[in-house]
A and B are shown apart, each in its own frame.
Chain A
Amino acid sequence: MNSHFTISSIAQDLLNTSITSIALTIEKLSNHISLEVFLTDQHYQILALSSPSGVSEFTIMAIQQLSASASTPAFQCKIMTLESDKYGFATPITHGNELLGYLFFIQNGESYRLEEYESLLAYTASLFSIKLYQNRELRKEKMKFKEVFLFDILYGNFKQKEEILEYGHIWGWNFAVPNTVAVFSIADFNHISTDQHIINTLLYIAERTLLERNMKPISLKRQNHLVIIFPSEETEQKKHLAQIEDFSGTVLRLLSTQYPERSFSCGIGKTYRNPADLFRSYQEAKVALDLGEIMGIDISFFTDLGLERILYKHDLQDLKEFYTATLGGLQEYDNTNNVDLMNTLESLVTNQFDITATSKALFLHRNTLRYRMKKMEEILDMKLDDLNTKLNILAAFKVKMLRKL
């Protein structure tokens, strides 16, 4: 199969097809050269794929360039996907100075030389360049209106519900059902670096995950985060929240496989029946996101963060005083006696003051735990079974975590 293909034999065919459909052109190309061919956007997200041996989808994690052509922008590369590594040839697709995507030919095990394919790559790249540019302009135009609409919803610029319902129909979105806003973000976002690409991937993954669940994505990319408006098809609020949590979990899992060195989190606002109130859900989601990040929670619900929000906003000096008044004695005891009763108490709080659960978590005998609890009661001069004491201790630990005491 080590033969040369002359462009003239297939050029006309490809040109004709490229005017109508990208997918068809990829398929034709794949047939002509009997290789797997695929087209991606500039973020390596696959737009069209065709293979003589049948199509199986995959996600590209990274591209490693191996050698470059001397005469064209084409290069030989290693394509790392979630499933396996592939080898092949690629060319960037550009329009003017702008990168629009990449075209890939995959080797099927035998060894090929780049020179054999570079003129075909260059030619087809020019065909796709025109098509991708047209598509992108079209999409941009449409996106503009969509983004303005979503921005106005999320920033409370619609005061009337009817307006939202009407505009929503244009995009096929039903705002008559209750909705909840979820916000995804990356920790230590740096807008100067390539983090913008990660937000693009985030958008891609979130939308794909929604489509897999047969939901029409309502999404807006902001500078350092992604907003998803999640409609409730469940009459039961509990189930709706479970759905969101499951969705968010899936997105975060996919993200961390792709970017294991970065950390992502998600905040979820309250559910609102009136879409004119969705701006609140959006703000709540962002508050939940930030507090969640501080407390190390991946998916945090605004509704779960009542006490935390109050504590976080409170005057720091006052909080420090409260913390010292509540747990200062124990801290001091730990320091002077070189023990760690604080850890024991914290574990008790985490386990809802359940002795069995705590002793299990700490690998302690129940009696040892009981003894320590007695000791702590002496030091703090409080009764640990008193509800007021429990509340104070719980709050003090939250203060510690929130304000990094």
Chain B
Amino acid sequence: MKDGIYRNTCPRNCYGTCSMLSYVKNGRLIKVTGDPEHGYSKGRLCAKGYAYTQYVYNQNRLKYPMLQSPRGSGKWKRITWDEAYTIIAEKMIELNERYGSNLPCGYNKFSGNLGLLHYATEGMFNSIGPHTKPIGNPCALTGKVANHRSFGSHFSSIPEDMAGAKLIVLWGANPAVTNVHQMKFIYQARKNGAKLIVIDPVFTQTAAKADIFIQIIPGTDMYLALGIAKLVIKNNRHAREFLESDTEGWNPYRAYLDNELSIDEICHKTGVTMQVLAEISELYGSIKPVVTWAGLGIQRNMYGSKSIKAINSLAAVTGNLFIPNGGLYFMHFNVDDFPCALLNHKGPIHPSVQASRKVDISDFANSALQLSDPPLKLLWIASRNITQDHNFIAWQKLFEQLELIVTVDLYMTKSAENSDLVLPAATHFEEEDLHVGYWHFWLSVNQKAIPPYYEAKSDLQIARELSLKLNELSPGFSNFPADKEPIDWIKEELTPEILDLYSINGYEDLLRRPSKKAKHTIHKQNQKFRLFSPTEMRQNNVRAAEPPSPEKHEYKLITPQSLLKIHSQFESLSWLNKHHDDSYIEISNEAALYHNINNLEKIEVYNRYGQLVGVAKINPYLQKNIILAHQSGNNPINQLIHQQEHLVSADVSTHFYDSTVSIRKWSEAHV
């Protein structure tokens, strides 16, 4: 690698997808900065981004392939890559011989690195023919499906345009923590007279900056959105013409609001008073353009789909959906525009097994356990730490059944600790890639800036080399095109259609600067907007999750993102996180009083799925029956999260915010 400045893209599962400049000297990354050519982040990074030199050269990074035997013993032995590939390939071949197909082999891969070339894991498994693969999206699927219902496609407005709004309403979004670069566009709007309203059960950092903060009972956004729409229509402030001619379901929607939903019910369900409801309705009805932003948290409970549809409909009712600087924000799936050649790589045909088995990633362990013919025997974990999933009990059972667990990661995560083999992954500075955002509309490249850290390798490199090993031991086992270089895969993504969408001539243009999708191509209306359907509302949630019981002093567990981590990523960087940071459990004044818990006292949080000890932090703004906990850490809070099976389906996100817990003062007697 030559000394100089390279263009990289932060590949984290984050709204920013920030292009960044990497300063390299003597083959070493000496500092990073934002990329001034990137129109969204505008030359800035977040705290995590600025810590990348430490992320790359951290003592705790995995350096070599390692084998643990027995699994979970902590007895690790350094092995060579060739030994690692041999162990894996031999196991795959043996399982294939034992069961007659590759169905016993599966993977669990999610959002650790969102680069298009990280679909190499999928490509690698595709190339061995039918296997066991995860489907779905634990994070945002409910919202995606709901938006498809509303718009006929995914829909999210252009972030930079928010600067021209006159009213910005955030529903359960906390950009001050999770999307810092959006704040400048919000402030810009505010400097030009816009108002910022934040609706959230939690008094977040963004709420603290809002002109008006409205606290709401969690999961009731649907009622508030419907209630505001009801008043806007009642005051004749709705976009009558648009609703009558360009939407579907206007009459039933209106009739439902007029006749079936009372203001009293809305206030009762949401906890918002009549005066506040009137105030926000007045603002929504009288100001234009209004930005409506539905945060991801809204759709991580069982009412998520309805809430998203109701919020979408509110934007439609007020006539803000398709006007400049108005619109609706959620996230988009523009990655679907790309060929995603690795993801869609076609494997060899199996004589008897038609297709791969699909396992819902939102309930992976439990679903995988149901597979019996043949059972899942080999699991490959990449870009994923399963402590971010729920239902740990099922995971434990699954581990017992598995004969080989391989984890590819940069650090010794909890998943890695439970594996037989760990393979050291490259950081994005050590590999090539291509990135498309899911919030903004910029496309950017990721150059290889430095040599790999010790023996680290990219997912693509591992796919290439494992495929070679498989074919060496069993000719024709894999049809992975191992000779293709990363740059070939990148160029394959940049089809003439893509070049046109992003107004570039080729790969080389992206080395000079990131490029934004042409505005007119962003939202193509292919159907009428569908309003919230009251029939859905009338279907009773007969089997609704049990809400926390105030009599039993139960609490709803909410686990928002932390500022200086993304799930368990970055947690071991000393610049960002200290060890004690993750164990805080925030409780309300009322809960502290009832359980006689003092600030910074040790407490236990428990339910039937598990228990953990943390340090209580009394949050005076917290609703009395909510508990806030940070994700990841040594004792992951997700062990208390368990989505009931009857609420799991292939088109919902994981209900991370629907679990009920109890608390008590810590005492040795409970241990």
User: Are A and B direct contacts in the complex by CB distance below 8 Å?
Assistant: no
